[in-house]
Amino acid sequence: MKRLATIAAAILFLFSTLATPPADGYLADTTIPIGGGCPALDRWNLSLASPLNRRWSTSLPLAPTTLLTVAAQNSAAQLTEISQAISDSFGAWTGVTGTTFNATNYPGMIAPLATIASANACTNDAENNIDGLNTICFNQSSMGFTSGVLAFTRVITANAPGASVGSGLPAAFAGQILDADTLFRNDGQASFATPGALSTSQGQGAYDLESLLTHELGHWFGLDHSAIWRAMMFPFAPPPGQFLGERPTAQAPDGPLSDDDRAGIRWLYPDPNDTVNIGAIEGRVVPANSFALAALPLPSPGASVTGIFGAHVVAVDEDTGAVIAGAFAGWSCSSSNPVLTFDGSFDIERLPVGHSYEVYAEPLVGLASPSDFSDAFDGLCTLDSAPQCTVPSVDTNFNPRIRPNVP
């Protein structure tokens, strides 16, 4: 029987591939194929007509009120207001140019957003019911709501072709996303406001529903957290009463996203007809003194740690100073040699051409720490890894410097 892999991506505190590239750019969740091999990127199979089956539960918490709207509670207008915020959050991701994940190529994204009245529509773990339906719930308790967690997303992936859940079609590849659900905290410890309600006096103490939704949907699509402060996928939410980026408009539906978010979704779902966002920067982050790595454990038989693991590599537009994309260095794997090697490799893809970029590496010692990316880092090795491997600790004990006279 085909098995499934479960990936849980949580927002903490205030927010809280088949043939892999030299290293995973940005940070995406991965699934180890059954029997081992390179970590497979988690992503939807866009060859299907409508694999998302998007819906949300209209069951809302009554007391205390945790979801603030301009419209009256328990009214049809309230449900319409919430539904619009959800649709706009989806639209931020499907509005990115240079990706196949859009309403034109992916008809399921423009289908009406379905509703369900059940309060427990997101109860789809292995012990209950994995239904293959992708739901947003505001009125369901979960053990996932530990201290500081405002919302979290559960993603079910296939670790082999042929795996399926619910009424969904069998997976075409390992890493294919089969089910995604987002739950919002409903115990009164936090409140969330739609864009209209956020500007009211009551909304000043609430978190922006649209910002949180857009972040969580990034997990739906396979992205993990980003270490870019401005990015929607940064692991911390804007403070109560504030929102991230720009509000979406008909002209700029992806307004809430940063360039790093856009590059990430283009990387997972590249448009073969895109001629603009096709640049790439590859390299390795290595210590000036190679003996600094000698004490680290071997990640797998016959392999060693030969580069900095977990360094944050950032590409900055030389003319504007804007941060365009970030990636995490540390590993490589290929279909010709499917053994994970911790060699400090990085690959920043889907960069706009015609620009000059400055690149720097930094340790994860700021507001975002290695623990905020543990799901993605730890998922590089599992019991199905072949050969068995151990993920090294993220290296934060280094000071970056520029090597002179390197062309």
Mean pLDDT of 366-382: 87
CA 271 to chain centre: 19
At 404 the pLDDT is: 61
At 306 the pLDDT is: 85
Crossing angle of helices 209-220 and 76-94, rounded to 10°: 50
Percent of the chain with pLDDT over 70: 85
At 9 the pLDDT is: 37
Whole-number Å distance between alpha carbons of 191 and 205:
8
Indicate if 340 and 237 belong to the same structural domain. Answer: no
Tell which wins on pLDDT, 165 or 10: 165
Kindly tell me the sign of the dihedral angle through the C-alpha atoms of 68, 74, 79, 80: negative
402 has pLDDT over 70: no
Answer with the one of 268, 300, 327 that is the final residue of a domain.
268
Q: How confident is the model at residue 28 (pLDDT cuts 50, 70, 90)?
A: confident
391 within some domain? no
Indicate if 287 and 220 belong to the same structural domain. Answer: no
Tell which wins on pLDDT, 112 or 347: 347
7 has pLDDT over 80: no
Mean pLDDT of 148-175: 89
Mean pLDDT of 320-324: 95
Indicate if 89 and 198 belong to the same structural domain. Answer: yes
137 within some domain? yes
12 within some domain? yes
Task: Kindly report whether the global pTM for this prediction surpasses the value 0.85.
Answer: yes
The answer to whether 83 and 210 have CB atoms below 8 angstroms apart is no
383 within some domain? no
In sequence order, the β-bridge partners of residue 327 are 313
Indicate if 320 and 217 belong to the same structural domain. Answer: no
- Structure confidence by residue, pLDDT tens digits, 272-282: 999 999 999 99
At 48 the pLDDT is: 67
- Structure confidence by residue, pLDDT tens digits, 186-226: 988 999 999 999 999 989 999 999 999 999 999 999 999 99
At 101 the pLDDT is: 86
The answer to whether 48 and 21 have CB atoms below 8 angstroms apart is no
Whole-number Å distance between alpha carbons of 123 and 142:
9
68 has pLDDT over 80: yes
Indicate if 152 and 174 belong to the same structural domain. Answer: yes
Q: How far apart are the first and last CA of the chain?
A: 53
Indicate if 349 and 241 belong to the same structural domain. Answer: no
In sequence order, the β-bridge partners of residue 136 are 56, 182
97 within some domain? yes
3-state secondary structure the chain: CCCEEEEEEECCCCCCCCCCCCCCCCCECEECCCCCCCCEECECCCCCCCCCCEEEECCCCCCCCCEECCCCCCCHHHHHHHHHHHHHHHHHHHCCCCECCCCCCCHHHCCCCEEECCCCCCCCCCCCCCCCCEEEECCCCCCCCCCCCCEEEEEEEECCCCCCCCCCCCCCCCCEEEEEEEEECCCCCCCEECHHHHCCCHHHHCEEHHHHHHHHHHHHCCECCCCCCCCCCCCCCCCCCCCCCCCCCCCCCCCCCCHHHHHHHHHHCECCCCCCCCEEEEEECCCCCHHHHCCCCCCCCCCCCCCCCCCEEEEEECCCCCEEEEEECCCECCCCCCCCECCCEEEEEEECCCCCEEEEEECCCCCCCHHHHHHHHHCCCCCCCCCCCCCCCCCCCCCCCCCCCCC
The CB-side HSE value for 231 (13 A sphere, CA atoms) comes to 28
206 within some domain? yes
336 has pLDDT over 90: no
Answer with the one of 234, 268, 302 that is the final residue of a domain.
268
292 has pLDDT over 70: no
At 147 the pLDDT is: 84
Tell which wins on pLDDT, 406 or 256: 256
At 128 the pLDDT is: 53
Indicate if 93 and 165 belong to the same structural domain. Answer: yes
204: left (phi over 0), alpha (psi -120 to 50) or beta: alpha
Indicate if 262 and 288 belong to the same structural domain. Answer: no
Whole-number Å distance between alpha carbons of 16 and 288:
36
8 has pLDDT over 70: no
Whole-number Å distance between alpha carbons of 194 and 207:
9
Indicate if 205 and 257 belong to the same structural domain. Answer: yes
Nearest Cα to Cα of residue 241 among 22, 68, 18: 68
At 299 the pLDDT is: 54
41 within some domain? yes
Mean pLDDT of 368-393: 83
22 has pLDDT over 50: no
- Specify the CATH number for the domain of residue 244: 3.40.390.10
159 within some domain? yes
| Total domain count, the chain | 2
The answer to whether 21 and 280 have CB atoms below 8 angstroms apart is no
Indicate if 95 and 242 belong to the same structural domain. Answer: yes
97 has pLDDT over 90: yes
Lowest mean pLDDT: which of 19-23, 110-114, 231-235, 379-383? 19-23
Answer with the one of 220, 240, 268 that is the final residue of a domain.
268
Indicate if 225 and 297 belong to the same structural domain. Answer: no
Whole-number Å distance between alpha carbons of 379 and 394:
13
pLDDT, mean over the chain:
84
Q: 210 lies in which domain range?
A: 4-268
Mean pLDDT of 178-190: 92
Indicate if 258 and 213 belong to the same structural domain. Answer: yes
